[in-house]
Amino acid sequence: MTAASIVDPMFISGASVWPLVEGGKGVAASNGTSAGAWAAAGGVGTISGVNADLIDDNGEYVPLIYKGRDRKARHEELVEYSTKGAISQARIAHELRQGEGRIHLNVLWEMGGCERVLTGVLEGAKGLIHGVTCGAGMPYRLAEICARHEVHYYPIISSARAFRALWKRTYHKFGDWLGAVVYEDPWRAGGHNGLSNAESPDQPENPFPRVLELRKMMREMGLDQIPIVMAGGVWHLKEWMNWIGNKELGPIAFQFGTRPLLTQESPIPQAWKERLLGVAPGEVALHQFSPTGFYSSAVRNSFLNELYERSERQVAYSDDPSDADGRTVFLPYGRSNHGVYLTPADHARATAWMVEGFTQPMRTPDGTLIFVAPDRARQIRRDQADCMGCLSHCRFSAWKDRDNYATGHQPDPRSFCIQKTLQDIAHGRGDPIDNQLMFSGHNAYRFGQDPFYKGGFIPTVKQLVQRILTGE
């Protein structure tokens, strides 16, 4: 431990740096400017490679205006733009880091065209990116792609079992390029979370035994000195003193996703930054509305509340009367003589919702109807039709980025277009901030309690890193 810091430097992606990693936050929420500043402060800066903004040679943002008339054409435009965008952000980060720190690229395995984007960026930004973090799925081919381009890879997992599967299947062939394993707490991290079907979203588990289990498994694989990056729920390093230097856990680094949002270099709009300062305890919700099918964590605002309410106005139906299920009461809607059969109790509920103005039933893939207002139904259908293929599989639009470009399932109106809302909130356009998806870690309420942010103070990245190194 040095006199100036509560932690010592660590060898990450080929250099000795502070074991502080900037989390890569989705669409335009961490970019070359924030990553370059984090690296310049001596840590590991992370560019989001998820539909990154394209910056031209004059430093101007070039928005993507779709010309394609169908999803496949728009998907191709998005892949091309995303590749060029991430390369432009890598160049910015490289210039700003001034030879300090490391630069990583973050991608989501379940984003549309992930392998193509990742390969294109590593080829186009050769020598500018030192590592790749990847989660949201099981990125079996991550190790092979990174090894081929001679950059380190950092799988994001939420259980030892997940890493075992990755290692046994492919990673053991490319062990020399494994930079670290990122353990992301599925109950506390922001954005998409890796909860398994065996885990309850309402019963958070202590991360220490889960990470210790991961370390024991890594030792069996000969990975004793490969760092584990703790992500999700990290605020003050002084709260992790039993982790730092712990011989059982081995080398530990820490990832910060939410705190870097509130910095001067953070690219998110001022309104978003101001909203973070007022997040209340318990206001971040772990929900399952994402079109990815994963759990995710976001501020419980009007956007999320409408999704909760949409699903609460939901009943099971049958197309024909069913005495066995008790669905014997006919509910007409749509075309003449068209409708479905509900139980008497559900029919009464549906009738009450329609009286309240939620007159448009919409079918879900699970044999249920939700009830929404006509303008909401039109918006849902419009968003589904405008799909640009940002995910490998989208339950909202039923898009798939390969084969016949369809999942084979009915589009799910209980979800939403994630690309639309994340682009809007990141660029300060569209609906007000409270009516957009606002990803956040569950510790965001601490902005309002931490004296560092007193009076609405927003630090530079350098000031934040220096503050974190003190233990605060």
The answer on 462 and 402 residing in a single domain is no
The reply to whether 267 falls in a domain is: yes
Report the interhelical angle of 32-40 vs 461-469 (nearest 10°).
40
Tokens (6 digits) for 400? 């798939």
Does 138 score more than 90 pLDDT?
Answer: no
Same-domain status, 227 and 315: no
Per-residue confidence at 338, pLDDT binned at 50, 70, 90?
Answer: confident
45 and 137 assigned to the same domain? yes
Place of tokens 């318990």: 282
Note the pLDDT of residue 295.
Answer: 92
Q: Does some domain include residue 174?
A: yes
Query: Which pLDDT band, with edges at 50, 70 and 90, does 135 fall under?
Result: confident
Residues 6+ apart with CB under 8 A from 70: none
**Is residue 112 scored above 50 in pLDDT?**
yes
CB 131 within 8 A of CB 181: no
Burial label for 176, CB within 10 Å (0-12, 13-18, 19+), is: exposed
Instruction: Convert the pLDDT of each residue in 29-64 to its tens digit.
Output: 999 999 999 999 999 999 999 999 999 999 999 999
Find the DSSP H helices in 60-141: 71-97, 114-124
Residue 440 located in a structural domain: no
CATH of the domain at 104: 3.20.20.70
Q: How many domains does the chain have?
A: 2
pTM: 0.93
Question: Domain check: are 271 and 394 in the same one?
Answer: no
Please tell me whether residues 98 and 202 are part of one structural domain: yes
pLDDT at 2: 42
Tokens 């759990």 belong to residue? 295
Q: Tell me, yes or no, whether 335 and 258 share the same domain.
A: no
pLDDT value for 198: 83
Looking at the structure, tell me whether residues 41 and 165 fall in a common domain: yes
Give the residue among 378, 392, 342 at the shortest CA–CA distance from 139: 392
Closest CA to 47 of 19, 75, 100, 88: 88
Same domain as 169, residue 313: no
95 and 119 assigned to the same domain: yes
Reduced 3-state DSSP string for 336-381: CCCEEEECHHHHHHHHHHHHCCCCEEEECCCCEEEEECHHHHHHHH
Q: Which domain holds residue 366?
A: 302-435
One domain for residues 206 and 332: no
pLDDT tens for 1-16 read 444 789 999 999 999 9
pLDDT digits (tens, 9 = 90+) for 198-254: 888 889 999 999 999 999 999 999 999 999 999 999 999 999 999 999 999 999 999
Does 458 lie in the same domain as 424? no
Domain match, 22 and 109 both: yes
Identity of the residue numbered 416:
F
Structure tokens at 6: 């509560």
